[in-house]
Amino acid sequence: MRTLMSWSRMPTAWIVQEQGLCAFRWTDGASGCVTAALVLYIALVHHADAEDGIARLSYDDLQRMTGFSRDTLSASLKYLVLNERIETVQNKRGWYSIRGWSEIPFGKIPARALYVSGVLTFAHRLTLRARAELDAMKLYLLFAAFRNDRMNSAFIGYEKIAEYSGIPKNRISGAITVLAGLDLIIVDHIPSDTGRFASVRGYRLRYLESYRHSGTRAAD
């Protein structure tokens, strides 16, 4: 496996322009695989070669990394292919090409700090049996796609979250709670100029340029 950098680039057009997260739905009999598919997408993005966007990982690598069963890995990889997020490379077993790898603009997602001894730690904490976990993984990618690079946060309201993720507004707070519990995000409350006590929420990915946030940018 390749040595991870502090962050990895992630294509975002499929999220922002195509609203592709809406295709990842909780369905009877396959829900755990859908959640796992988004986790695998994150792992494959982490390990994709910077030049060609190909992740070269065996099932043993992926199983150790995520803790998912081989059946779950198989179903989840097929789901990613079906939804055009990855492509398998002909005659290259264990090679997965990230669709849209060279697109600009792109998002950033933290990489190295999410692993301990090659294990993607938050993946091992998932049950794959809760709808809120799927919602949480969708939100994580959404926040990465909408992240403001200068402020290092995503500023997006519930209406837009629902529009771009397909998550009903009444489930969004639960998904945010899951992400915070997995130590994947920080929710910042930024003062707003609309009123003395008004504020807006910013969603910041943990371990991504942690020195940059609303407090450090206040003097800019």
Q: Are 95 and 56 in contact (CB under 8 A)?
A: yes
Say what the pLDDT of residue 50 is.
94
- Asked if pLDDT for residue 199 goes beyond 70, the answer is no
29-42: per-residue pLDDT in tens? Answer: 677 999 999 999 99
Q: Are 106 and 16 in contact (CB under 8 A)?
A: no
Q: Are 57 and 2 in contact (CB under 8 A)?
A: no
Q: Is the residue at 172 inside a domain?
A: yes
The single residue listed with the structure tokens 């090659």 is 118
54-92: per-residue pLDDT in tens? Answer: 999 999 999 999 999 999 999 999 999 999 999 999 889
Band (105; pLDDT cuts 50, 70, 90):
confident
Band (134; pLDDT cuts 50, 70, 90):
very high
Q: Are 7 and 111 in contact (CB under 8 A)?
A: yes
Which pTM was predicted? Answer: 0.92
Instruction: Tell me the residue range of the domain where 131 lies.
Output: 7-217
Q: Is the residue at 201 inside a domain?
A: yes
The pair of three-digit structure tokens given for residue 213, joined into one six-digit string? 């946030």
* Mean pLDDT, range 113-129, rounded to an integer: 97
Q: Are 166 and 191 in contact (CB under 8 A)?
A: no
Band (121; pLDDT cuts 50, 70, 90):
very high
Q: Is the residue at 50 inside a domain?
A: yes
Q: Is the residue at 1 inside a domain?
A: no
Q: Is the residue at 2 inside a domain?
A: no
Band (220; pLDDT cuts 50, 70, 90):
very low
Q: For the chain, what is the mean pLDDT? A: 91
CB burial class (10 A; 0-12, 13-18, 19+) of residue 110? buried
- Asked if pLDDT for residue 178 goes beyond 90, the answer is yes
Helical segments of the chain, H only: 13-16, 31-47, 59-66, 70-82, 131-146, 158-165, 169-181, 214-217
Give the total number of structural domains in the chain.
1
